[in-house]
Amino acid sequence: MNFKKTKIPLYIVATLLFGLKTYIVYRFLFSIELENSMQEFILFVNPFISAFLVFAISVWFKKEARQMKFIRYSALIGTIIIYFNLVFYRSFTDFITVPQLFQASNMGDLGGSILTLTKPYDILLIVDVLFIWYLSRKKTEVMTVNYPRNGKVFALAMSLMLLAGNFFLAEMERPQLFTRAFDREYIVKNIGLFNYHIYDIALHSKVKSQSVFADGNELPEIKNFIKTEVKSEEKSEMFAVAKDKNVIFISAESVQNFVINNKVNGEEITPFLNSLVKDEDTYYFDNFYHQTGQGKTSDSEFVMENSLYPLPSGAVFFTHGQNEYNALPKLLNQEGYYTSVLHANNKSFWNRDQMYDSLGYDHFYGEEAYEATEENSIGWGLKDKPFFEQSIKYLQAMDKPFYSKFITLTNHFPFDISKDDRSIEPYNSNSNTLNNYFPTVRYTDEAIEKFFQQLKDNGLYEDSIIIIMGDHYGISESHNKAMSQYLGKEEITPYDHIQLQEVPFFIHIPNNGNGKTMSQVAGQIDIKPTLLSLLGIKAENDIQFGNRLFIEDRKGYIAFRNGDYASEKYISTNDTCYNRLTGEVLSQAEEQDDEPSVEQDNPCTEISDQVNEELQYSDDIVYGDLFRFVNFDEK
């Protein structure tokens, strides 16, 4: 082809190259599920439509240099956006949201985690950018255009028509795409990554305005829902069983319940936690679910401290750290408890320095409180064993009674510890993440065992209750193939995925003698009311969505942030209703003639409606900062 005689607008070339690259990323690097040929077609065309919409703007620049500069920098910025989403997706199987952009301060602490998420072939993502850069510099005379005004208008009209066509197809394939329960994968699959980000910006702007216009009038409806659907008047036999006891709460990083009473390479994974299951002073909940969203550990803290849900986008700790809350530490302060968090990381990570003040904590023992060296640290910081060992002196010095939350670090992605710290060997699968997970879980198990002994040796054990909770999943869906191998399954189904969201939860009360395994469905939302009850504290005016775990009259389901749920009888996920105990499919939505999903005799529908209502009320409280209108001390 003779470049000197043939005019090939660079914005067309850039559209084709960038669109093809984006499609390849969608199809082969993201794990986007495609259910039919229409979804495949939409996924194929939407990156080209998005690219054309952006690059066609260049025709409005009169000067050649500005046209070329706009196109090459648009290609570069677009590639950066794709790559950031790709790295994020590899870790969380999710897409970046606007609130998470304000969490960029966390990125400096990710270190080896980010390096683990990069692949050698990622460098290929800039090939088209380099080619576009070359053409814009060396072939300017044949790559620029000088359309008359009607030609520019035509290019703009064409891009908008294509976008409208994309939206029309998306609405046909997924009716009420923008008004149904928010699912980021469906948005990206149907309108593309870049349009998703625009949608996310609009959504974030909308929710930010809620606090400005909120006036508290929403509260009576929320209180009535809690009174009729959540709250129970049943008295618990466990009320005040731990009155005036110290509370030691251990948030066990990334520990999932499937490791409990399980083995790898013939070795117990968590021998100490296994022993607690049988301990007569321990209550072990074997159907306990984490309920975190994008905020992961910070979300788990938010849920258990407030008995409210995390947000559908971003981390509450960042987006609403200045809100007023009626949190567990605040309530315990009013009862004479000294409250603290011990975590060998910096105070700005997850905006903890601000959020802990809002929650009512007296003190945060962060990284400056610990002696971290190259020998006793790895990955995210101080190893769990020296962390607990160095923390004992702080517990001894605290006013009694105290409530202290410990947040461990070692069992954190990418689950990398030295051979000297391993007590068991890694698993053998196609996933290094899963393989290395087992030795780091064992290390944390050993650290907690030593901590129990240290509490006994220092006279703190008898007057304390000790709670252990897995904060969130450690193994994401990206490792389903390896997980299915370990669990001896052909594949990890959506039903299995929900079951893998179970995390261990132990309540250890020394000298109680009535411990047992409790199998009712429970979750992090239930911790606050349960702990208050155990300590003999009545918070009658509190607004919370959890139940006390030692009563029978409970709502009977645990809601997940995306609207899925697990109840005593059912699991609802991906528009499918399962029998929770057997995994049998009871009802499945089917797409018929491009009409909305039709559900026949779905036993999950009633609870699903209540779950969505509950999540919405919790969001209203957080987005509107509604607790500023409540006097919780009122009798």
Lay out the sheet containing 576-579: strands in order across.
Answer: 557-559, 565-567, 570-573, 576-579, 585-588
Rounded to whole angstroms, what are the CA distances from 225 to 53, 487, 551, 615? 46, 40, 20, 12
What SS3 class is residue 270?
A: coil
**Beta-bridge partner residues of 570:** 579
CA nearest 506: which of 283, 287, 304, 290? Answer: 283
The catalytically annotated residue of 22, 97, 297, 573 is: 297
Q: Determine the Cα–Cα distance for residues 71 and 129; give it in Å rounded to an integer.
A: 10
Angle between helix 37-55 and 193-213 (nearest 10): 80
Q: Determine the Cα–Cα distance for residues 490 and 634; give it in Å rounded to an integer.
A: 56
Q: Evaluate the CA torsion angle 353, 106, 369, 451 in order and state its sign.
A: positive
Number of H helices, E strands in the chain: 22, 21
The CB density around residue 543, as the number of other CB atoms within 10 Å, is 22
Is 245 within 8 Å of 563 (Cβ atoms)?
A: no
- Total residues found in the chain within this entry: 635
Phi, psi of 404 (to 5 degrees): -130, 125
Residue type, 319: T
Residue 179 designated active-site? no
Is 362 within 8 Å of 383 (Cβ atoms)?
A: no
What SS3 class is residue 263?
A: strand
Containing H/E element for 507? strand 505-508
The torsion defined by the Cα of 88, 93, 97 and 100, in degrees rounded to 10, comes to -50
Give Dmax over CA atoms of the chain in angstroms.
90
Instruction: Name residue, tokens 């009633």.
Output: 606
Phi, psi of 72 (to 5 degrees): -70, -35
Is 286 within 8 Å of 257 (Cβ atoms)?
A: yes
User: What is the per-residue DSSP string for 321-387?
Assistant: TTS----HHHHHHHTT-EEEEE-SS-TTGGGHHHHHHHHT-SEEE-GGGS---TTTEETTEE-HHHH
The torsion defined by the Cα of 504, 296, 555 and 576, in degrees rounded to 10, comes to -100
The CB density around residue 27, as the number of other CB atoms within 10 Å, is 14
Containing H/E element for 566? strand 565-567
Tokens of 466: 């000790």
Tokens of 501: 């969201």
Catalytic residues: 297
